[in-house]
Amino acid sequence: MNALSEQILSELRHLLSEMSDGGSVGPSVYDTARALQFRGNVTGRQDAYAWLIAQQQADGGWGSADFPLFRHAPTWAALLALHGDPLPGAADAVQAATRFLEREPDPYAHTVPEDAPIAAELILPQLCGEAASLLGGVAFPRHPALLPLRQACLVKLGAVATLPSGHPLLHSWEAWGTSLTTACPDDDGSIGISPAATAACRAHAVTQGSTPQVGRADAYLLAASRATRSGIEGVVPNVWPINVFEPCWSLYTLHLAGLFAHPALAEAVRVIVAQLDARLGVRGLGPALHFAADADDTAVALCVLRLAGRDPAVDVLRHFELGELFVTFPGERNASVSTNIHALHALRLLGKPAAGTSAYVEANRNPHGVWDNEKWHVSWLYPTAHAVAALAQGKPQWRDERALAALLQAQRDDGGWGAGRASTFEETAYALFALYAMDRSEEPTGRRRIAQAVARAREWMLARHAAHALPQTPLWIGKELYCPTRVVRVAELAGLWLALGWGRRVPAEGAGAAP
């Protein structure tokens, strides 16, 4: 094994060993802006305001121009946080943001897209209303398709006195909460593992003189800020902690690359598996220990435990079964394709019937044979890599020429893959995971085509690899696009490791192998 492969394994061991600190998540414009606005005092937060201004794009909006659906929430929030701010550049930023929102097409004028950001129906009308009262007369988008959904949700919330700690709707409390009686902090001091919701609740606690709750919120927000690795107090992530999601997805990714059982990672994997095994209760697991269980995290945890030789009960996943598909959370607006992909993979690993789930996954391809209608990740390469692995599970002769042709055709001239205007390391790794799953069952011509694509991808990745680099591109869907830093870094490293050893390695514990 060459020195770079050893270095990759060493960095992977280090990343896995760090996953007891609540998780690492990149900074969020939306949550940082809301937290600053709710605090209402520039003093002591000048660096955070300066960071917020620095994230504004040349067109006046915040967020990537590659994915316009996810720009409204951070832009509204930044505009509101910076309005009236005396810091240099704030007034100009507000003017540019106003012009951006006036001319930007309203994606919710008539319908609600399947991949809309989390709680868009609650958050965007709330932000729009705040801006209208602050900047009356400006022709902002009004998001009319969201209004009936918001109203229906508020009616439902009005009938509930208090939501239990960790309830999914608490994650967007800043968009609907008006009383501390409806906000129940968890053991980490957060409201729904959301910095924005926690900051909003803290503001209410200040006005009501609830000193203990203010202190707990402050401690949580400080810890969440440190999780961004930005070094700026007050810059916070989109979600935190992610102390179940982060280790679950990281080990699942190792499996996709054939690294799950690698001797160099065995001890780090063993520690995480033991923790997951102890934490998996009768209701399943959520993204964090103190958050509601969901089908996605539960399914991936089941996959990881089965791959480690455990025999977890599939009953924990059945709580989320609705007909022939699985819902991520009961009552969610629309089903997630990747949640069902992960459920299918878990069922196959556990040797359980999965015909209905398999049919649902197959039915949600696009005409090119790949999956591009996902609600938790903006790139089609993420669900495609996971779907190929799930469909190939336990079927050594499984082939899919349509998906293979689409993947090879989508490779860019530079050798990478990307759903936006440029290739990204993360998405290139997903493409390699999918090709790895297909390679074993391909005939010689297909394997040569795959090997050629991998060689080009390897050169692209080698030219951009740097040890211990922090991923910067947000591609995961929350209230805006965000980046779960360690999860993405594990994918990047696993993809490069796979590319380095291509042709000398036969898929063993990975694609197509029976459990």
* Range with lowest mean pLDDT among 34-43, 94-103, 146-155, 348-357: 34-43
- Whether 16 and 51 map to the same domain: the answer is no
Quick check: 299 and 336 in contact, CB under 8 A? no
- Lowest-pLDDT choice from 3-7, 117-121, 485-489, 509-513: 509-513
Tens of pLDDT along 488-514?
999 999 999 999 999 665 444 443 333
Sign of CA dihedral 393, 397, 401, 404: positive
Question: What count of other Cβ atoms lies within 10 Å of the Cβ of residue 184?
Answer: 17
pLDDT band for position 181 (cuts 50, 70, 90) = confident
Give the residue-averaged pLDDT of 350-360.
95
Residue 511 lies in a domain: no
pLDDT in tens, 192-224: 999 999 999 999 999 998 888 999 999 999 999
73 and 200 share one domain = yes
Model confidence at 137, pLDDT cuts 50, 70, 90, reads low
The CATH code of the domain that includes 271 is 1.50.10.20
**Nearest 5°: CA angle at 212, between 211 and 215?**
85
Residue 381 lies in a domain: yes
286 and 426 fall within a common domain: yes
Of 176, 195, 226, the one marking the end of a domain is: 226
- CA 425, CA 268: separation in Å to the nearest integer? 24
In percent, the amount of the chain with pLDDT more than 90 equals 83
Q: Which domain holds residue 383?
A: 3-21+242-500
- Domain for residue 507, yes or no? no
Q: Considering only 129-143, 276-290, 321-335, 360-374, which range has the smallest mean pLDDT?
A: 129-143
Name the amino acid, one letter, at 149. L
pLDDT at 172 over 70: yes
pLDDT, tens digit, 9 for 90 and up, residues 227-255: 999 999 999 999 999 999 999 999 999 99
Claim to verify: residue 211 and residue 247 sit in the same structural domain: no
Query: Which of 226, 251, 284 is the C-terminal boundary of a domain?
Result: 226
Q: Are residues 207 and 288 in the same domain?
A: no
Question: Does residue 237 sit within a domain?
Answer: no
First to last CA, the chain: 27
Per the structure, the count of domains in the chain is: 2
Reported as a single tens digit per residue, the pLDDT across 297-308 is 999 999 999 999
Same domain assignment for residues 260 and 190: no
User: pLDDT (tens digit, 9 = 90+) per residue, 387-398?
Assistant: 999 999 988 778
Please state, rounded to an integer, the average pLDDT across all residues of the chain.
93
Mean pLDDT is lowest, of 214-223, 418-427, 436-445, for 436-445
| Residue 393: inside a domain | yes
Residue 179 belongs to domain with CATH number:
1.50.10.160
What's the CA gap between 506 and 492, in Å, rounded? Answer: 20
Tell me the average pLDDT across 163-180. Answer: 93
pLDDT of amino acid 333: 84
Which of 127-131, 135-139, 320-324 is predicted with the least confidence, judged by mean pLDDT? 135-139
Q: If we measure between CA atoms, which residue out of 387, 393, 424 comes closest to residue 406?
A: 387
Residues 14 and 57 in one domain: no
233 lies in a domain?
Answer: no
The residue-averaged pLDDT of 482-492 equals 98
Average the pLDDT over 140-165 and give the result: 90
Does one domain contain both 188 and 314? no
Examine residue 120 and state whether it is found in any structural domain, yes or no: yes
Buried b / exposed e across 112-145, counting CB within 10 Å, b at 16+? beebbbbbbbbbbbbbbebbeeeeeeeebbbbeb
Residue 1: predicted pLDDT? 53
Query: Are residues 488 and 411 located together in one domain of the fold?
Result: yes
In a domain, residue 212? The reply is: yes
Residue at a domain's end among 161, 195, 226? 226
CA distance 510 to 172: 38
Q: How confident is the model at residue 44 (pLDDT cuts 50, 70, 90)?
A: confident
How confident is the model over 267-286, as pLDDT tens digits? Answer: 999 999 999 999 998 999 99
